[in-house]
Amino acid sequence: GENVEQHPSTLSVQEGDSAVIKCTYSDSASNYFPWYKQELGKRPQLIIDIRSNVGEKKDQRIAVTLNKTAKHFSLHITETQPEDSAVYFCAASLNSGGYQKVTFGTGTKLQVIP
Amino acid sequence: SAVISQKPSRDICQRGTSLTIQCQVDSQVTMMFWYRQQPGQSLTLIATANQGSEATYESGFVIDKFPISRPNLTFSTLTVSNMSPEDSSIYLCSVPTSATTDTQYFGPGTRLTVL
């Protein structure tokens, strides 16, 4: 099955700096890559996603890049703010038996220091 | 996006007992997914519940331990049977945000503590 690795497990940045989280996946059939943000005690919430036919996608301060050949994708957060502090999960999704099966990475705890 | 509710939001249970978690969605969805999130860990898919058929379980999860019901297109239950402290986790249901998307939207979760 699919295996998603995520690095780093923790990340501390100064407010205003950039943060980068990297993930790799194993199954070349994966075709959809969402990123979720989970604040303490809350449900995971989608912040951005990218499909396998796109190399990069940006939404304000957040961007995601995908390298299908190398099977890795990254989340970039610019001009970080304290409210960006949370756990971020990458995920890889592929069609399995008629539905999209999502495999999550291990998570990155981001701390933005004011 | 869909509005998802889960009951209970949290519970403390004794080992050896069972707990049934409910997931209600405000719109009809074909697929519903159940995840487990152990303390400080990532999300692991337990099973996929498709209305009108048996749930599909992932490796490491069995129906006897985690029976699932899916009586209609807006509701599902997950039972955690014969609980042990290792079952202490957050259990979340999720649904696709629409019929044409791969994106999943999560319920608020049920925080289970087994003593």
Please tell me which of the candidates B41, B45, B59 has its beta carbon nearest to residue A102.
B45
B45 interface with A at CB cutoff 8 Å: yes
With CA atoms as reference, report the closest residue to B2 among B36, B35, B30: B30
Interface residue B59 vs chain A (CB under 8 A): yes
User: Nearest Cβ partner of B42 from A32, A89, A101?
Assistant: A89
What is the pLDDT at residue A53? 87
pLDDT tens-digit profile of A23-73? 999 999 999 999 999 999 999 999 999 998 889 999 999 999 999 999 999
**Which whole-number Å values give the CA distances from A41 to B37, B39, B40, B109, in the listed order?**
12, 11, 11, 9
pLDDT of residue A74: 98
The pLDDT of residue B50 is 86
Q: What is the pLDDT of residue B101?
A: 67
Q: What percent of chain A has pLDDT over 70?
A: 100
Read off φ and ψ for residue B87, nearest 5 degrees.
Answer: -85, -5
The per-residue pLDDT for B100 is 62
State percent of chain A over pLDDT 90.
88
A100:B96 CB<8 A: yes
A95: nearest CA in chain B? B102
* CB-closest option in A43, A93, A106 to B102: A93
Contacts with B88 (C-beta within 8 Å, 6 or more apart), sequence order: B38, B39, B112, B113, B114
pLDDT average per 10 residues of sequence, chain B (115 residues): 92 97 93 94 94 89 96 95 97 84 89 97
**Which residues 6+ apart lie within 8 Å of A71 measured at CB?**
A24, A25, A26, A28
